[in-house]
Structure 1
Amino acid sequence: MSRAVADGLRQTGGAVATVVTLPFRALARLSGQVSSGARRSRARPGAPRPAVAPP
């Protein structure tokens, strides 16, 4: 019986942890997309330039 109670508490704790961390994960994902978008818009130093087709 104590094992069943422990399993129930473990599952409840896992669910609470998931709900609590969701907003922080969303913020991290948004800030990651913002910073990666800023990085993509600039040319990296030393990166090869795209070839331009002659007219």
Structure 2
Amino acid sequence: MATDGEIPNTPAEDELLPDERAVLSERAEALDEAEEDELLTVAEVAADLGIDLDE
């Protein structure tokens, strides 16, 4: 899992299952089309889940 400023270790495309490729493609497209105010930050999600990021 990547932390702020780190690039996540993404498996090579040939290591993905066909279903994974489709889902990743759909999610990437949805992110590209999303408005900036529709996206949540890590801090917002953590707060919603009751996770303290400072620990």
Who wins on radius of gyration, i.e. which is larger? 1
Q: Which has the higher helix share?
A: 1
TM-score, normalised with respect to structure 1? 0.34
Q: More relative contact order in 1 or in 2 (CA 8 Å, sep 6+)?
A: 2
> What TM-score, normalized by structure 2, do the two folds share?
0.34
